[in-house]
Structure 1
Amino acid sequence: MCGRFAAELDYPEIAQILHAQPSAGLPGKSWNVSPTQTIAVIGQDAHGVNHLASAYWSLIPPTAESKKLPYPTFNARIESALDRPTFAQAARHNRAIIPVSGYYEWTAERKPYYFHAKDNRPLLLLGLYSWWLSRERANATWLLTATILTRDSVGIAAQIHDRMPVLCDPQHAQKWLNRSVSGDKILPEASAYGARLSQSLLASHEVAPLHGDGPELTEPYDEMMLRF
Protein backbone atom coordinates (compact mmCIF):
# COMPACT_ATOMS: atom_id res chain seq x y z
CA MET A 1 0.00 0.00 0.00
CA CYS A 2 1.03 3.64 0.07
CA GLY A 3 -0.36 5.61 2.98
CA ARG A 4 2.36 8.16 3.65
CA PHE A 5 4.81 10.04 1.48
CA ALA A 6 7.19 13.00 1.26
CA ALA A 7 6.69 15.84 -1.23
CA GLU A 8 9.58 18.27 -1.57
CA LEU A 9 8.73 19.16 -5.14
CA ASP A 10 9.84 21.63 -7.80
CA TYR A 11 6.47 22.28 -9.45
CA PRO A 12 7.75 24.21 -12.49
CA GLU A 13 10.13 21.34 -13.27
CA ILE A 14 7.38 18.72 -12.88
CA ALA A 15 4.99 20.75 -15.04
CA GLN A 16 7.64 20.99 -17.75
CA ILE A 17 8.49 17.28 -17.64
CA LEU A 18 4.84 16.23 -17.87
CA HIS A 19 3.72 19.02 -20.23
CA ALA A 20 1.20 20.27 -17.70
CA GLN A 21 -0.27 23.65 -16.89
CA PRO A 22 0.27 24.40 -13.17
CA SER A 23 -2.66 25.70 -11.14
CA ALA A 24 -2.43 28.25 -8.36
CA GLY A 25 -2.41 27.20 -4.72
CA LEU A 26 -0.43 23.97 -5.00
CA PRO A 27 0.42 22.34 -1.64
CA GLY A 28 3.59 23.32 0.16
CA LYS A 29 6.51 21.04 0.99
CA SER A 30 5.86 18.24 3.43
CA TRP A 31 7.72 15.11 4.47
CA ASN A 32 4.73 13.51 6.19
CA VAL A 33 1.74 13.60 3.84
CA SER A 34 -1.18 11.39 4.88
CA PRO A 35 -4.62 10.54 3.44
CA THR A 36 -7.27 13.30 3.31
CA GLN A 37 -4.56 15.95 3.06
CA THR A 38 -4.07 18.07 -0.07
CA ILE A 39 -1.68 16.60 -2.66
CA ALA A 40 -0.44 17.56 -6.11
CA VAL A 41 -1.78 15.56 -9.06
CA ILE A 42 -1.47 15.70 -12.84
CA GLY A 43 -4.53 14.85 -14.90
CA GLN A 44 -5.84 15.51 -18.39
CA ASP A 45 -9.02 17.42 -19.20
CA ALA A 46 -11.55 16.64 -21.94
CA HIS A 47 -9.58 18.78 -24.41
CA GLY A 48 -6.37 16.80 -23.96
CA VAL A 49 -4.62 19.41 -21.80
CA ASN A 50 -2.60 18.22 -18.80
CA HIS A 51 -3.05 20.12 -15.54
CA LEU A 52 -0.99 20.11 -12.34
CA ALA A 53 -3.48 20.79 -9.57
CA SER A 54 -4.30 20.24 -5.89
CA ALA A 55 -6.50 17.32 -4.88
CA TYR A 56 -7.99 15.72 -1.78
CA TRP A 57 -6.10 12.47 -1.13
CA SER A 58 -8.88 9.87 -1.00
CA LEU A 59 -11.00 9.37 -4.08
CA ILE A 60 -14.67 10.22 -3.67
CA PRO A 61 -16.91 8.79 -6.41
CA PRO A 62 -19.40 11.22 -7.99
CA THR A 63 -22.34 9.32 -6.49
CA ALA A 64 -21.16 9.67 -2.88
CA GLU A 65 -23.44 11.62 -0.55
CA SER A 66 -20.61 12.64 1.79
CA LYS A 67 -16.87 13.10 1.82
CA LYS A 68 -16.71 10.64 4.72
CA LEU A 69 -16.88 7.18 3.18
CA PRO A 70 -17.24 3.96 5.24
CA TYR A 71 -14.09 2.52 3.64
CA PRO A 72 -10.63 3.89 2.77
CA THR A 73 -10.03 5.11 -0.79
CA PHE A 74 -6.54 6.60 -0.61
CA ASN A 75 -5.27 3.48 -2.44
CA ALA A 76 -6.82 1.35 -5.17
CA ARG A 77 -5.57 -2.03 -6.39
CA ILE A 78 -4.67 -1.72 -10.06
CA GLU A 79 -5.68 -5.35 -10.59
CA SER A 80 -9.31 -4.70 -9.60
CA ALA A 81 -9.85 -0.96 -10.12
CA LEU A 82 -11.89 -1.51 -13.29
CA ASP A 83 -14.24 -3.85 -11.42
CA ARG A 84 -14.78 -1.76 -8.29
CA PRO A 85 -17.77 0.62 -8.50
CA THR A 86 -15.84 3.24 -6.52
CA PHE A 87 -12.95 3.36 -8.98
CA ALA A 88 -14.27 1.95 -12.28
CA GLN A 89 -15.27 5.23 -13.92
CA ALA A 90 -11.97 6.91 -13.06
CA ALA A 91 -9.95 3.86 -14.11
CA ARG A 92 -11.42 3.98 -17.60
CA HIS A 93 -10.66 7.60 -18.42
CA ASN A 94 -9.64 9.74 -15.39
CA ARG A 95 -6.10 8.59 -14.76
CA ALA A 96 -3.59 10.69 -12.83
CA ILE A 97 0.03 10.92 -11.81
CA ILE A 98 1.01 11.84 -8.26
CA PRO A 99 4.58 13.21 -7.99
CA VAL A 100 6.36 12.53 -4.69
CA SER A 101 9.90 12.73 -3.36
CA GLY A 102 9.52 9.27 -1.87
CA TYR A 103 7.11 7.14 0.12
CA TYR A 104 7.12 5.29 3.44
CA GLU A 105 6.25 1.71 4.16
CA TRP A 106 6.26 -0.32 7.37
CA THR A 107 7.37 -3.86 8.11
CA ALA A 108 5.18 -6.27 10.08
CA GLU A 109 7.16 -5.14 13.15
CA ARG A 110 6.17 -1.51 12.40
CA LYS A 111 9.64 -0.39 11.35
CA PRO A 112 9.32 2.44 8.81
CA TYR A 113 11.32 2.48 5.58
CA TYR A 114 11.67 5.30 3.07
CA PHE A 115 11.63 4.44 -0.65
CA HIS A 116 13.01 6.90 -3.19
CA ALA A 117 14.65 7.06 -6.60
CA LYS A 118 18.34 6.16 -6.62
CA ASP A 119 19.11 9.50 -8.27
CA ASN A 120 16.72 11.32 -5.87
CA ARG A 121 14.52 12.60 -8.68
CA PRO A 122 10.77 12.69 -7.97
CA LEU A 123 8.87 9.43 -8.20
CA LEU A 124 5.83 9.44 -10.47
CA LEU A 125 3.07 7.33 -8.92
CA LEU A 126 0.09 6.21 -10.97
CA GLY A 127 -3.31 7.19 -9.68
CA LEU A 128 -6.92 8.00 -10.52
CA TYR A 129 -8.90 11.18 -10.06
CA SER A 130 -12.57 12.06 -9.67
CA TRP A 131 -14.53 15.28 -9.36
CA TRP A 132 -17.05 15.28 -6.52
CA LEU A 133 -19.77 17.87 -6.02
CA SER A 134 -19.82 18.78 -2.35
CA ARG A 135 -23.21 19.77 -0.99
CA GLU A 136 -22.08 19.78 2.63
CA ARG A 137 -22.19 23.59 2.75
CA ALA A 138 -24.69 26.17 1.57
CA ASN A 139 -22.84 26.70 -1.70
CA ALA A 140 -22.14 23.52 -3.67
CA THR A 141 -18.49 23.26 -4.73
CA TRP A 142 -16.53 20.86 -6.89
CA LEU A 143 -13.69 19.00 -5.20
CA LEU A 144 -10.90 17.23 -7.07
CA THR A 145 -10.09 13.93 -5.35
CA ALA A 146 -7.48 11.26 -6.07
CA THR A 147 -6.19 7.82 -5.14
CA ILE A 148 -2.82 6.10 -5.59
CA LEU A 149 -2.76 2.77 -7.42
CA THR A 150 -0.92 -0.19 -5.90
CA ARG A 151 0.23 -3.61 -7.08
CA ASP A 152 2.01 -6.67 -5.68
CA SER A 153 5.46 -5.66 -4.46
CA VAL A 154 8.60 -6.67 -6.34
CA GLY A 155 12.32 -6.25 -5.70
CA ILE A 156 13.41 -4.47 -2.54
CA ALA A 157 9.85 -3.31 -1.86
CA ALA A 158 8.74 -6.93 -1.41
CA GLN A 159 11.16 -7.27 1.52
CA ILE A 160 9.13 -4.71 3.50
CA HIS A 161 5.49 -5.00 2.43
CA ASP A 162 3.36 -7.06 0.04
CA ARG A 163 1.95 -3.99 -1.77
CA MET A 164 3.64 -1.02 -3.42
CA PRO A 165 2.61 2.01 -5.51
CA VAL A 166 2.72 1.61 -9.29
CA LEU A 167 5.57 3.67 -10.75
CA CYS A 168 5.82 5.45 -14.07
CA ASP A 169 8.42 7.49 -15.96
CA PRO A 170 8.03 10.62 -18.12
CA GLN A 171 8.32 8.56 -21.32
CA HIS A 172 5.17 6.57 -20.50
CA ALA A 173 3.29 9.29 -18.62
CA GLN A 174 1.54 10.80 -21.64
CA LYS A 175 -0.03 7.52 -22.67
CA TRP A 176 -1.20 6.93 -19.12
CA LEU A 177 -2.81 10.37 -18.90
CA ASN A 178 -4.41 10.18 -22.36
CA ARG A 179 -8.17 9.99 -21.77
CA SER A 180 -8.79 8.49 -25.20
CA VAL A 181 -6.85 5.35 -24.23
CA SER A 182 -9.10 2.77 -22.59
CA GLY A 183 -8.31 1.68 -19.07
CA ASP A 184 -8.99 -1.94 -20.03
CA LYS A 185 -5.84 -1.87 -22.14
CA ILE A 186 -3.50 0.43 -20.28
CA LEU A 187 -3.94 -0.68 -16.65
CA PRO A 188 -2.40 -4.16 -17.15
CA GLU A 189 0.40 -2.68 -19.28
CA ALA A 190 1.14 0.02 -16.71
CA SER A 191 1.26 -2.47 -13.84
CA ALA A 192 3.77 -4.68 -15.63
CA TYR A 193 5.91 -1.72 -16.69
CA GLY A 194 5.84 -0.27 -13.17
CA ALA A 195 7.13 -3.56 -11.76
CA ARG A 196 10.09 -3.57 -14.15
CA LEU A 197 10.83 0.10 -13.56
CA SER A 198 10.80 -0.19 -9.77
CA GLN A 199 13.49 -2.86 -9.75
CA SER A 200 15.99 -0.53 -11.42
CA LEU A 201 14.78 2.76 -9.95
CA LEU A 202 14.11 2.28 -6.23
CA ALA A 203 16.40 2.54 -3.23
CA SER A 204 15.32 2.39 0.42
CA HIS A 205 16.54 2.78 4.00
CA GLU A 206 15.10 2.52 7.48
CA VAL A 207 13.99 5.77 9.09
CA ALA A 208 12.97 6.83 12.58
CA PRO A 209 9.29 6.68 13.62
CA LEU A 210 7.35 9.42 11.84
CA HIS A 211 6.51 12.30 14.16
CA GLY A 212 5.91 15.88 13.11
CA ASP A 213 7.15 17.12 9.75
CA GLY A 214 10.52 18.04 8.28
CA PRO A 215 13.31 16.75 6.02
CA GLU A 216 14.86 14.83 8.91
CA LEU A 217 12.03 12.28 8.60
CA THR A 218 13.62 10.90 5.43
CA GLU A 219 17.14 10.57 6.86
CA PRO A 220 18.56 7.07 7.45
CA TYR A 221 17.85 5.80 10.96
CA ASP A 222 21.49 4.99 11.73
CA GLU A 223 22.58 8.53 10.82
CA MET A 224 19.89 9.99 13.07
CA MET A 225 21.18 7.90 15.98
CA LEU A 226 24.70 9.30 15.55
CA ARG A 227 23.40 12.74 16.52
CA PHE A 228 22.78 11.68 20.12
Structure 2
Amino acid sequence: MGMCGRFAAELDYPEIAQILHAQPSAGLPGKSWNVSPTQTIAVIGQDAHGVNHLASAYWSLIPPTAESKKLPYPTFNARIESALDRPTFAQAARHNRAIIPVSGYYEWTAERKPYYFHAKDNRPLLLLGLYSWWLSRERANATWLLTATILTRDSVGIAAQVHDRMPVLCDPQHAQEWLDRSVSGDKILPEASAYGARLSQSLLASHEVAPLHGDGPELTEPYDEMMLRF
Protein backbone atom coordinates (compact mmCIF):
# COMPACT_ATOMS: atom_id res chain seq x y z
CA MET A 1 0.00 0.00 0.00
CA GLY A 2 1.32 3.45 -0.93
CA MET A 3 1.86 6.37 1.39
CA CYS A 4 -1.22 7.38 3.39
CA GLY A 5 -3.25 4.62 1.80
CA ARG A 6 -5.32 3.68 4.86
CA PHE A 7 -6.99 5.70 7.58
CA ALA A 8 -9.59 5.48 10.34
CA ALA A 9 -12.75 7.58 10.34
CA GLU A 10 -14.57 7.46 13.64
CA LEU A 11 -16.04 10.93 13.16
CA ASP A 12 -18.70 13.19 14.64
CA TYR A 13 -19.94 14.90 11.48
CA PRO A 14 -22.08 17.59 13.14
CA GLU A 15 -19.08 18.63 15.25
CA ILE A 16 -16.76 18.73 12.23
CA ALA A 17 -19.31 20.70 10.22
CA GLN A 18 -19.58 23.23 13.04
CA ILE A 19 -15.81 23.56 13.48
CA LEU A 20 -15.24 24.13 9.75
CA HIS A 21 -18.40 26.19 9.15
CA ALA A 22 -19.65 23.66 6.62
CA GLN A 23 -23.08 22.53 5.53
CA PRO A 24 -23.33 18.73 5.91
CA SER A 25 -24.79 16.74 3.03
CA ALA A 26 -26.93 13.63 3.30
CA GLY A 27 -25.40 10.19 2.85
CA LEU A 28 -22.07 10.71 4.58
CA PRO A 29 -20.06 7.49 5.08
CA GLY A 30 -20.36 5.45 8.25
CA LYS A 31 -17.61 4.83 10.76
CA SER A 32 -14.67 2.73 9.62
CA TRP A 33 -11.22 1.96 10.96
CA ASN A 34 -9.86 0.63 7.68
CA VAL A 35 -10.66 3.07 4.87
CA SER A 36 -8.79 2.42 1.63
CA PRO A 37 -8.56 4.15 -1.77
CA THR A 38 -11.64 4.12 -4.05
CA GLN A 39 -13.92 3.91 -1.01
CA THR A 40 -16.30 6.72 -0.05
CA ILE A 41 -14.82 9.32 2.31
CA ALA A 42 -15.97 12.60 3.84
CA VAL A 43 -14.45 15.82 2.51
CA ILE A 44 -14.94 19.54 3.09
CA GLY A 45 -14.75 21.83 0.10
CA GLN A 46 -15.98 25.27 -0.90
CA ASP A 47 -18.38 26.01 -3.75
CA ALA A 48 -18.28 28.93 -6.20
CA HIS A 49 -20.39 31.02 -3.79
CA GLY A 50 -17.93 30.67 -0.90
CA VAL A 51 -20.02 28.14 1.04
CA ASN A 52 -18.25 25.21 2.69
CA HIS A 53 -19.81 21.77 2.27
CA LEU A 54 -19.17 18.50 4.09
CA ALA A 55 -19.90 15.78 1.53
CA SER A 56 -19.08 12.26 0.41
CA ALA A 57 -16.39 11.72 -2.21
CA TYR A 58 -14.64 8.93 -4.08
CA TRP A 59 -11.13 8.56 -2.66
CA SER A 60 -8.93 8.87 -5.76
CA LEU A 61 -9.03 12.08 -7.71
CA ILE A 62 -10.31 11.79 -11.26
CA PRO A 63 -9.54 14.83 -13.43
CA PRO A 64 -12.43 16.25 -15.49
CA THR A 65 -10.76 15.17 -18.74
CA ALA A 66 -10.54 11.48 -17.79
CA GLU A 67 -12.63 9.14 -19.91
CA SER A 68 -12.83 6.43 -17.25
CA LYS A 69 -12.81 6.11 -13.48
CA LYS A 70 -9.97 3.57 -13.84
CA LEU A 71 -6.77 5.54 -14.33
CA PRO A 72 -3.41 3.93 -15.23
CA TYR A 73 -1.78 5.45 -12.13
CA PRO A 74 -2.82 5.94 -8.48
CA THR A 75 -4.33 9.30 -7.49
CA PHE A 76 -5.34 8.76 -3.86
CA ASN A 77 -2.29 10.84 -2.86
CA ALA A 78 -0.68 13.88 -4.49
CA ARG A 79 2.67 15.44 -3.63
CA ILE A 80 2.06 18.99 -2.46
CA GLU A 81 5.44 20.06 -3.90
CA SER A 82 4.42 19.18 -7.46
CA ALA A 83 0.60 19.28 -7.45
CA LEU A 84 0.48 22.58 -9.35
CA ASP A 85 2.70 21.15 -12.09
CA ARG A 86 0.94 17.81 -12.58
CA PRO A 87 -1.84 17.90 -15.20
CA THR A 88 -3.93 15.50 -13.12
CA PHE A 89 -3.93 17.77 -10.06
CA ALA A 90 -3.11 21.27 -11.34
CA GLN A 91 -6.66 22.54 -11.79
CA ALA A 92 -7.73 21.32 -8.36
CA ALA A 93 -4.57 22.67 -6.70
CA ARG A 94 -5.31 26.15 -8.01
CA HIS A 95 -8.85 26.45 -6.68
CA ASN A 96 -10.48 23.17 -5.59
CA ARG A 97 -8.77 22.54 -2.28
CA ALA A 98 -10.30 20.26 0.33
CA ILE A 99 -9.91 19.01 3.87
CA ILE A 100 -10.30 15.32 4.69
CA PRO A 101 -11.16 14.70 8.37
CA VAL A 102 -9.87 11.43 9.84
CA SER A 103 -9.49 10.06 13.34
CA GLY A 104 -6.04 8.76 12.45
CA TYR A 105 -4.01 7.21 9.62
CA TYR A 106 -1.77 4.20 9.14
CA GLU A 107 1.72 3.97 7.76
CA TRP A 108 4.12 1.08 7.27
CA THR A 109 7.85 0.79 7.86
CA ALA A 110 10.17 -0.72 5.27
CA GLU A 111 9.77 -3.99 7.19
CA ARG A 112 5.97 -3.74 6.71
CA LYS A 113 5.20 -3.02 10.36
CA PRO A 114 2.04 -0.87 10.54
CA TYR A 115 1.84 2.20 12.77
CA TYR A 116 -1.19 4.28 13.66
CA PHE A 117 -0.81 8.06 13.79
CA HIS A 118 -3.32 10.20 15.66
CA ALA A 119 -3.62 13.45 17.59
CA LYS A 120 -2.20 13.33 21.11
CA ASP A 121 -5.60 14.41 22.47
CA ASN A 122 -7.46 12.17 19.98
CA ARG A 123 -9.18 15.08 18.25
CA PRO A 124 -9.85 14.51 14.54
CA LEU A 125 -6.93 15.14 12.23
CA LEU A 126 -7.57 17.53 9.36
CA LEU A 127 -5.65 16.41 6.26
CA LEU A 128 -5.17 18.74 3.33
CA GLY A 129 -6.45 17.52 -0.01
CA LEU A 130 -7.84 18.42 -3.40
CA TYR A 131 -11.19 17.69 -4.99
CA SER A 132 -12.48 17.38 -8.55
CA TRP A 133 -15.87 16.79 -10.13
CA TRP A 134 -15.92 14.09 -12.80
CA LEU A 135 -18.78 13.42 -15.20
CA SER A 136 -19.35 9.69 -15.28
CA ARG A 137 -20.78 8.26 -18.47
CA GLU A 138 -20.32 4.65 -17.43
CA ARG A 139 -24.07 4.15 -17.07
CA ALA A 140 -27.06 5.08 -19.19
CA ASN A 141 -27.50 8.38 -17.34
CA ALA A 142 -24.47 10.64 -16.93
CA THR A 143 -23.81 11.55 -13.30
CA TRP A 144 -21.39 13.86 -11.56
CA LEU A 145 -19.00 12.21 -9.10
CA LEU A 146 -17.08 14.13 -6.43
CA THR A 147 -13.53 12.77 -6.15
CA ALA A 148 -10.63 13.66 -3.84
CA THR A 149 -6.98 13.07 -3.03
CA ILE A 150 -4.84 13.54 0.10
CA LEU A 151 -1.78 15.78 -0.16
CA THR A 152 1.56 14.53 1.18
CA ARG A 153 4.94 16.06 2.00
CA ASP A 154 8.35 14.97 3.32
CA SER A 155 8.01 13.48 6.78
CA VAL A 156 9.23 15.21 9.91
CA GLY A 157 9.33 14.30 13.59
CA ILE A 158 7.98 10.91 14.65
CA ALA A 159 6.45 10.35 11.21
CA ALA A 160 9.94 10.32 9.66
CA GLN A 161 10.84 7.32 11.83
CA VAL A 162 8.28 5.20 9.95
CA HIS A 163 8.04 6.56 6.38
CA ASP A 164 9.61 9.28 4.26
CA ARG A 165 6.23 10.84 3.36
CA MET A 166 3.30 11.99 5.48
CA PRO A 167 -0.07 13.70 4.94
CA VAL A 168 -0.11 17.49 5.25
CA LEU A 169 -1.93 18.50 8.42
CA CYS A 170 -4.03 21.57 9.08
CA ASP A 171 -5.93 23.07 12.02
CA PRO A 172 -9.27 24.91 12.22
CA GLN A 173 -7.51 28.29 12.46
CA HIS A 174 -5.96 27.89 9.00
CA ALA A 175 -8.67 25.80 7.37
CA GLN A 176 -10.73 28.67 5.96
CA GLU A 177 -7.82 30.18 4.06
CA TRP A 178 -6.99 26.75 2.63
CA LEU A 179 -10.57 26.24 1.44
CA ASP A 180 -10.96 29.77 0.07
CA ARG A 181 -11.20 29.41 -3.71
CA SER A 182 -10.14 33.04 -4.23
CA VAL A 183 -6.69 32.33 -2.76
CA SER A 184 -4.27 31.19 -5.45
CA GLY A 185 -2.73 27.76 -5.14
CA ASP A 186 0.81 28.92 -5.90
CA LYS A 187 0.64 31.17 -2.84
CA ILE A 188 -0.96 28.86 -0.32
CA LEU A 189 0.47 25.41 -1.09
CA PRO A 190 4.07 26.17 0.04
CA GLU A 191 2.81 27.96 3.16
CA ALA A 192 0.43 25.12 4.02
CA SER A 193 3.15 22.51 3.63
CA ALA A 194 5.51 24.36 5.96
CA TYR A 195 2.79 24.94 8.54
CA GLY A 196 1.71 21.28 8.38
CA ALA A 197 5.27 20.20 9.18
CA ARG A 198 5.39 22.44 12.26
CA LEU A 199 1.93 21.35 13.41
CA SER A 200 2.69 17.65 13.09
CA GLN A 201 5.61 17.87 15.50
CA SER A 202 3.40 19.14 18.32
CA LEU A 203 0.18 17.30 17.44
CA LEU A 204 1.01 13.74 16.39
CA ALA A 205 1.39 10.59 18.47
CA SER A 206 1.85 7.06 17.10
CA HIS A 207 2.08 3.41 18.08
CA GLU A 208 2.55 0.08 16.35
CA VAL A 209 -0.62 -1.86 15.55
CA ALA A 210 -1.38 -5.39 14.41
CA PRO A 211 -1.62 -6.16 10.67
CA LEU A 212 -4.80 -4.64 9.26
CA HIS A 213 -7.53 -7.18 8.59
CA GLY A 214 -11.25 -6.55 8.56
CA ASP A 215 -12.67 -3.47 10.27
CA GLY A 216 -13.30 -2.31 13.80
CA PRO A 217 -11.86 -0.08 16.56
CA GLU A 218 -9.45 -2.85 17.63
CA LEU A 219 -7.36 -2.07 14.54
CA THR A 220 -6.12 1.13 16.19
CA GLU A 221 -5.14 -0.50 19.49
CA PRO A 222 -1.43 -0.70 20.37
CA TYR A 223 0.12 -3.96 19.19
CA ASP A 224 1.69 -4.81 22.54
CA GLU A 225 -1.63 -4.42 24.39
CA MET A 226 -3.37 -6.74 21.94
CA MET A 227 -0.66 -9.36 22.40
CA LEU A 228 -1.27 -9.37 26.18
CA ARG A 229 -4.74 -10.80 25.54
CA PHE A 230 -3.36 -14.05 24.14
**Where on the TM-score scale, by shorter chain, does this alignment land: which range?**
over 0.9
Tell me the SS of whatever aligns to 2:93: helix
Tell me how far 1:223 sits from its aligned partner: 0.3
Tell me how far 1:40 sits from its aligned partner: 0.1
Q: Which runs of 5+ in 2 are unaligned?
A: none
Counterpart Cα distance in 2 of 1:104 and 1:159: 13
1:153-180 CA distance string (max 9 Å, x none): 0000000000000000000000000000
Counterpart Cα distance in 2 of 1:222 and 1:109: 17
1:104-141 CA distance string (max 9 Å, x none): 00000000000000000000000000000000000000
- Give the TM-score normalised by the residue count of structure 1: 1.00
Counterpart Cα distance in 1 of 2:73 and 2:93: 18
Counterpart Cα distance in 1 of 2:211 and 2:14: 31
Counterpart mapping for 1:81-120 below 5 A: 81-120=83-122
1:19-60 CA distance string (max 9 Å, x none): 000000000000000000000000000000000000000000
Match of 1:123 in 2: 125
Match of 1:227 in 2: 229
Counterpart Cα distance in 1 of 2:68 and 2:138: 7
Tell me the SS of whatever aligns to 2:189: helix
Match of 2:211 in 1: 209
Tell me the SS of whatever aligns to 2:55: strand
Tell me how far 1:103 sits from its aligned partner: 0.1
- Give the percent of matched residue pairs that are identical in Structure 1 and Structure 2: 99
Counterpart Cα distance in 2 of 1:53 and 1:89: 20
Counterpart Cα distance in 2 of 1:67 and 1:227: 43
Q: 1:35 aligns with which of 28, 37, 55?
A: 37
Q: Which runs of 4+ in 1 moved over 4 A?
A: none
- Give the TM-score normalised by the residue count of structure 2: 0.99
Tell me how far 1:214 sits from its aligned partner: 0.1
Counterpart Cα distance in 2 of 1:227 and 1:59: 41
**What's the RMSD between the two structures over aligned residues?**
0.2
Counterpart Cα distance in 1 of 2:4 and 2:174: 21
Q: How many residues align?
A: 228
Tell me how far 1:18 sits from its aligned partner: 0.1
Tell me the SS of whatever aligns to 2:181: coil
